[in-house]
Amino acid sequence: MNKINCFFNPKSVAVIGASRDQKKIGHIVFRNFVEGRFKGKVFPVNPKTKKLLGRKCYTNVTQIKEKIDLAVISIPAEFAPKALEECGKKRIPAVVIVSGGFKEVGEDELEDRLKKIAKRYGIRIIGPNCLGIFDPSTGVDMIFLPRYKLERPKEGGISFITQSGAVGSVVLDWMARKGYKISKFVSYGNAVDVDEADLMEHLAEDKKTKVICAYFEGVREGRKFLNVTKKISGVKPIIILKGGTTEAGNKAISSHTGSLAGSFEVYTAAFKQAGVLQADDMEELFGFARTLSTLSRPKGNRVQIITDGGGFGVLLSDNIVENGLTLAKMKKETTERLRKKMPSYVVLKNPIDLTGDADVERYREALDAALADPNVDMIGLIVLLQVPRLGGDIVQTITNAFKSSEKPIFVISAGGEYTEVLKKSLEDFGIPTFSYTQNAAKAMRVLYEFSEEAEEYEKRKRR
């Protein structure tokens, strides 16, 4: 088995530092494997405990007779090198060290010892100072934050890697609440061995990952990162949110993961050269990710807006043009057919304004017409659910349209709790929804540009 694959698809796991104390990290990690969806074998390692959750405890990993694919080390930093040495003797190929207290607090020598041990035994390490891995498809869950405090997202096509465990934990909880779906999550911390480039290379080959997203503060090996991302970006989208855009942020980085941040301008230029998408914030990153992981590629950049609120239609029109896209001009025959089915006060231009008394049937007619019209490549569907005649059945109408057409549909809906509930229903169907018109327009541009780049990449391959 490929050693990197052992992190995500192990058949057996040892948790070093598994504890009876329910508040300790080792206990939570062990419980995740025992009570979660993991189908393999789990072995607790703790010299002070004979049994844990009905499982026999081992003094160290060398006492376990069965083969171990993966170990999770969750003990104080000063004891981690000895535990890693025992993993080497046991020939465990992959180890995640969630413990902190290494380079990020000035303990460079202690971290160097881990590196030397790993090299001697050929062990691949994620960490130290990290949250570890969450993979809903295999049931691997090292996230040491209890499920009642941090929800886990459902399985989907977005993989997310992060240097920061704090950012990662909030992202997971936020994704679950919003209904965004995940393929793999990796918090890699100080990157003593496996770094962002290694993970991206693995995810590029992973069939369940449609889009690779990352938050990081510094790249360990710049040339390696560039080579890997250049190779991947034409095939699978890479979206990055870079921490340390200011001098103050750069100073904070060295005390967080011990990384050297470097100039933000240099990173921006490198991302552009490698074909990597750069997001300005987390909402934008996941707007791009959900779009690229769920929507089909458009044949052009012509967008038809359908709305029940004129002001939102105006805003989206501006945003579409600002992002270098074009407002579609539907065929005369299409508008004539719609005119026969709509009240006289409905505006049948671009935007199509269904007005404040719009109902589900009006939306269905407008959607069907835009999807069938050859002059339309994408649809910006504004659904303001506060209007009196629009209810929850709009979800089924949008879902039916989404399933029946290859044209991308971008849903924009803003409001309170009622709106958020229905938006989450759409996300569950794999339909990305946005609260702000500018975010939707940026996502349209990104989808169109990636489609163009991917087509060019395919042409180069055929030559």
Which residue range is the domain that position 99 belongs to? 1-130
Q: Is the dihedral of CA 452, 454, 459, 463 positive or negative?
A: positive
Got the DSSP string for 294-336?
HSPPPSSSEEEEEES-HHHHHHHHHHHHHTT-EE----HHHHH
284 domain-assigned: yes
264-311, pLDDT tens digit by residue?
A: 788 888 888 888 999 999 999 999 999 999 999 999 999 999 999 999
Task: With respect to residue 181, please indicate whether it lies within any of the assigned structural domains.
Answer: yes
Query: Tell me, what's the pLDDT at 453?
Result: 83
- Name the region of 179 (left: φ>0; alpha: ψ -120 to 50; beta: rest): left
pLDDT 10s digits, 43-94: 999 999 999 999 999 999 999 999 999 999 999 999 999 999 999 999 999 9
| Counted domains in the chain | 3
Same-domain check for residues 111 and 165: no
Where does a domain end: 239, 269, 294? 294
Residue 424 near residue 413, CB atoms below 8 Å? no
DSSP state of 58: B
Read off the tokens for 23: 């508040």
Beta-ladder partners of 110: none
- Tell me, yes or no, whether 140 lies in a domain: no
Q: Which residues pair with 411 in a beta bridge?
A: 381, 433
Q: Is the domain of 283 the same as that of 318?
A: no
CA 13, CA 239: separation in Å to the nearest integer?
A: 31
State the pTM of this model. Answer: 0.89
User: What is the CATH classification number for the domain harbouring 201?
Assistant: 3.40.50.261
Same domain, 106 and 155: no
Which residues of the chain fall short of a pLDDT of 70? 1, 245-262, 457, 460-463
Domain membership of residue 398 (yes or no) is yes
According to DSSP, residue 97 is labeled: E
Residue-level pLDDT at 463 = 65
Report the sign of the C-alpha dihedral through residues 348, 352, 356, 359, in that order: positive
Residues 120 and 204 in one domain: no
Task: Examine the fold and report which residue of 82, 100, 130 is the final residue of a domain before the chain moves on.
Answer: 130
Residue entry with tokens 């327009």: 441
How does the average pLDDT of the chain come out, rounded? 92
